[in-house]
Chains A and B, each alone.
Chain A
Amino acid sequence: MSLNLGALATDTRMKTIMVTIMSFILSFISILVLILILNVLGNEVDVGLVFNKTFFEPLLNPDMIALIIFWTGPLILTGLSVAVAFKAGLFNIGSQGQMIVGGAAAGIFAANIVPSTPSLRFLLTPILMVPATMVVGIIAGLIWGGIPGWLKAKTGAHEVIVTIMMNQIALSLVRYLVVSQSYSPFVDKSLVDAYGQTRPIHSSAVIPLINKDFSTFLDWSILPTILSAIIIWFVIEKTRYGYRVRAVGENISAARASGINTDWAIISSMMISGGLAGLAGALQVQGNYRKYIFNSEGTLGFDGIAVALVAQNSALWIILSALLFGYLKQGSLNLESNTDISKFLIFTLQATLIIFIAAPLISSRLIDLLTKIAKPKDLDEEYNGGHSDPPAEEGGADK
């Protein structure tokens, strides 16, 4: 019951890029169809307006460019989180839960535990407190990711099901911790809000802004984020440990036969994966919100799946891919605040993009079809010789 990564891979690098581009085109067509449906239902939706609000306006406004970078940060981390697990042949859809737990732990640690514990007071200087809060977030996410990893390695429990369950448990647990005014131990009692939040975190844990004049919310949390991407790239691609993880992801029985400790590779990669998502949660608390707010993650954890898939799980490409999805996210928010169209339109685009990338056979068949039309007949035979599909259902993409 391990992840069938073969279905995600395609023949050559060129083909992979072509499939990704094709997936984008197909997703855009799907969105156009959805807009068409909206029009049929009686909403007069102007495609030009949608495109302008979503794709052009965010690029022209410096505030929005700052927001794009702001969204990119957590997307890089959740994308990395999904990608590291993918490298080990695991599908971690628990990034959402790990991010929630990491954020809540960081918030509670910096807002309640340290200020109220005399023996921990020594931490209250920025030099110690900023990294300590990050580490708390990482550890919380690491535990939340480690449990599914451990269960996968030791009992074979499917990590996807377990991480789904862990997401739900995380929601319940954090809701208990910060949401209810009547019994939550860490809720901000001074606010009688509809949704729960912790008290503001101690000022020493706050990550400072890069430049007040440029933007009032863009902070230095982008630095540890980029650093994590580089570290993960180095660890996965250049170290012996990363080689082992990739070997487990490619063929677990071959890896086991060659003496790799597969259990440890699975557990540790899930722990790293969870830790990255936890860091994403912690940085949101320390940067923008300066407290933990329940549900402030939105769908950032799930967005990581699309980020990782588009970047083909390569840590450095994830930075660009996250930038793209940050741009789309900001575009969707701009769309929602300026028109009657839901921001979920772009969420839908992301979903269809995942579908087309996870089913490369659709795009590659389409590419084959298009090349067949475009090329003269004799050349066509040669071009398709390597992996031409028999008339039956078989495709060249599954290895």
Chain B
Amino acid sequence: MSSLKSLLDSKTLTKNRWVKFILSFLIAYEILVVYLFVLSSVLGLGEVYSLYALNIFVFREVMDPTMLSSMVALSVPIMITAVGATFNERAGVINIGLEGIMIWSAWFSVYVSYLTGNVWLATLGGIFAGAVLGLLHAVLTITFKAEQVVTGVAVNLLALGVTEVLNRAIWEPARSDPVTSFSPVDITQIPLIGPIYDFFILSNYYNVPGIGGVLRLVPDVFGMLNNHNPLTYIAIALVPACHIFLFKTKYGLRIRVIGEHPQAAATAGINVRLYQYFAVILSGALGGLGGTILSIGTSNKFISGMTGGKGFLALAAMIFGKWTIIGAALASFLFGFFFAFGINLSAGGIKGFVVPIEFYQMIPFIVTILALAGVIGKARAPKSIGIPYSEDEE
């Protein structure tokens, strides 16, 4: 499989990055189709289509506007958490505790909403709750130089435990009562911008003879970004901001230097611990936003286990995105795609075609392992990651 990469890199093909991007997209698509084809033949559930037919049917599903819209909804909590994770990993601190941060802030935002009835206060509460756990992780790993992975796991367990204890004390076990939550924003209803936005939604034209069929072959970007909760838009807007901060400002540069070589950064007069604290707390806050989107953003209550490994997925997306903000965001959308796609197909997207949803859900984890193993590109972690910083080490 690693020859795929070298094939794309070799001079026989083009060096144009867009052509490369489209080629790798097509290869990934074909692998997905073959994966589904093999699974449907081996498992013997439902109809077995020919590879040719499956190519066409799957493509139609990939471009399905409803699927794309739920892809956005499923990706955004992962995306914003993955963006946060990029900060702390770039600063040389591993944060396995993101799953815990998400579940804890998902609960806490529901609780604040229950107390105040104000969703925006609840959002602030969720972000604050995430930042507090981030601070705890920072104190343990930076000041007390604990083994980062072990405390990260402990933060997960702690968040899970505290959430369950408090939830049980306030509501019944495993779920909360419904609380005030966000409702989706229909952009087309906004005066002035609305009609213009509506003009670009491709699914409006699907029934127009002639161009309708062609438009179905292109993703409906404007359509899939419509009708989400306000936090989703905030989270999406934060991605370019975070990218600029980490890669275009001197503060971002300092964070990245600390992740590679903290002693060198310290020699240059940078307060290493201050920046590390900042990065880990920021990561907690963004993870908190992710958890908030999960609870009061897309639902109206807390259910235990509602993160369902999304914090780990964020970690995976960050790795798959090769420790960059944009990469992490794109990887989150890819992972969200597999979930939405799996839900869509197991709900009978292709007539008679059955591949259990579990086989879609495991794809993100499999591709992350492959990415870590160097099969799909080479993912390289920041050099000094996981090593507590101290001045006297060379």
| A residues at B contact (CB < 8 Å) | 1, 3-5, 7-8, 34, 37-38, 41, 43, 45, 91, 93, 151, 154-155, 157-158, 160-162, 164-166, 168-169, 171-173, 175-176, 180, 183-184, 299, 302, 305, 309, 340-342, 344-345, 347-348, 350-352, 354-355, 358-362, 392-395, 397-398
A38 and B165 contact, CB distance less than 8 A: yes
What is the 8 Å Cβ interface bit string for chain B, positions 20-47, against chain A (1 contact, 0 not)? 0000000000000000000000010100
Assuming the contacts A162-B369, A183-B45, A362-B144, asked whether A347 and B161 have C-beta atoms less than 8 A apart, the reply is yes
> Which stretch of B211-219, B256-264, B353-361 is in the interface?
B353-361
Q: How far is the CB of B207 from chain A (nearest CB, A)?
A: 34
Provide the bound-state CA to CA distance between A285 and B273, in Å.
49
Assuming the contacts A151-B372, A340-B169, asked whether A164 and B150 have C-beta atoms less than 8 A apart, the reply is no
B358 and A34 contact, CB distance less than 8 A: no
Q: How far is the CB of A321 from chain B (nearest CB, A)?
A: 16
Q: How far is the CB of A168 from chain B (nearest CB, A)?
A: 5
Assuming the contacts A38-B165, A169-B365, A355-B154, asked whether A7 and B315 have C-beta atoms less than 8 A apart, the reply is no
The one of B143, B166, B167, B365 in contact with A165, judged by C-beta atoms closer than 8 angstroms, is: B365
Q: Which residues of B contact A162 (CB under 8 A)?
A: 369, 372
Provide the bound-state CA to CA distance between A358 and B96, in Å.
14
B residues 47-83 in Cβ contact with A at 8 Å: none
The one of A93, A169, A358 in contact with B146, judged by C-beta atoms closer than 8 angstroms, is: A358
B10 within 8 Å of A by Cβ?
no
A176 and B169 contact, CB distance less than 8 A: no
Q: Which residues of A contact B366 (CB under 8 A)?
A: 165, 169
> What are 21 A-B contacts defined by CB distance under 8 Å?
A5-B147, A7-B146, A8-B150, A91-B150, A93-B149, A161-B368, A164-B312, A168-B362, A169-B365, A172-B359, A172-B362, A341-B165, A341-B169, A342-B164, A342-B165, A344-B161, A344-B162, A347-B164, A348-B162, A355-B140, A362-B144
Provide the bound-state CA to CA distance between A180 and B381, in Å.
39
Q: How far is the CB of A311 from chain B (nearest CB, A)?
A: 14
Q: Which residues of A contact B315 (CB under 8 A)?
A: 161, 164
B368 and A165 contact, CB distance less than 8 A: yes
Assuming the contacts A158-B381, A183-B356, A344-B168, asked whether A358 and B150 have C-beta atoms less than 8 A apart, the reply is yes
> Which stretch of B198-206, B293-301, B382-390 is in the interface?
B382-390
- Given A7-B147, A164-B315, 19 extra CB contacts under 8 A: A1-B386, A4-B387, A7-B145, A45-B169, A154-B373, A157-B372, A157-B374, A173-B358, A302-B157, A309-B150, A341-B168, A344-B162, A348-B165, A354-B154, A355-B140, A358-B147, A361-B144, A392-B391, A395-B144
Q: Which of B169, B362, B392 has the most CB of A within 10 A?
A: B169
The one of A154, A352, A398 in contact with B390, judged by C-beta atoms closer than 8 angstroms, is: A398
Assuming the contacts A162-B372, A354-B150, A358-B151, asked whether A38 and B166 have C-beta atoms less than 8 A apart, the reply is yes
Q: Which residues of B contact A305 (CB under 8 A)?
A: 150, 153
Closest 4 CB pairs of A and B: A359-B146, A348-B161, A344-B164, A351-B157
Q: How far is the CB of B361 from chain A (nearest CB, A)?
A: 5
Q: Which residues of A contact B96 (CB under 8 A)?
A: 93, 160, 164
Q: Which residues of A contact B391 (CB under 8 A)?
A: 392, 394
Assuming the contacts A168-B362, A309-B150, asked whether A176 and B161 have C-beta atoms less than 8 A apart, the reply is no
Closest Cβ neighbor of A184 among chain B residues = B356
A155 and B374 contact, CB distance less than 8 A: yes
B161 and A395 contact, CB distance less than 8 A: no
B residues 144-198 in Cβ contact with A at 8 Å: 144-151, 153-155, 157-158, 160-170, 173
Q: Which residues of A contact B349 (CB under 8 A)?
A: none
Closest Cβ neighbor of A5 among chain B residues = B147
Main secondary structure of the interface of A (DSSP, over half): helix
Assuming the contacts A34-B162, A345-B161, A354-B153, asked whether A176 and B144 have C-beta atoms less than 8 A apart, the reply is no
Closest Cβ neighbor of A158 among chain B residues = B372
B392 and A394 contact, CB distance less than 8 A: yes
B279 within 8 Å of A by Cβ?
no
Assuming the contacts A1-B385, A341-B169, A354-B150, asked whether A172 and B157 have C-beta atoms less than 8 A apart, the reply is no
B319 within 8 Å of A by Cβ?
yes
B377 within 8 Å of A by Cβ?
no
Q: How far is the CB of A371 from chain B (nearest CB, A)?
A: 19
Q: Which residues of A contact B161 (CB under 8 A)?
A: 344-345, 347-348, 350-351
Q: Which residues of A contact B373 (CB under 8 A)?
A: 151, 154-155, 157
B106 within 8 Å of A by Cβ?
no
Q: Which residues of B contact A3 (CB under 8 A)?
A: 147, 149, 386
Q: How far is the CB of A317 from chain B (nearest CB, A)?
A: 18
Q: Which residues of B contact A157 (CB under 8 A)?
A: 369, 372-374
Closest Cβ neighbor of A365 among chain B residues = B144
Assuming the contacts A155-B374, A344-B164, A362-B144, asked whether A4 and B369 have C-beta atoms less than 8 A apart, the reply is no
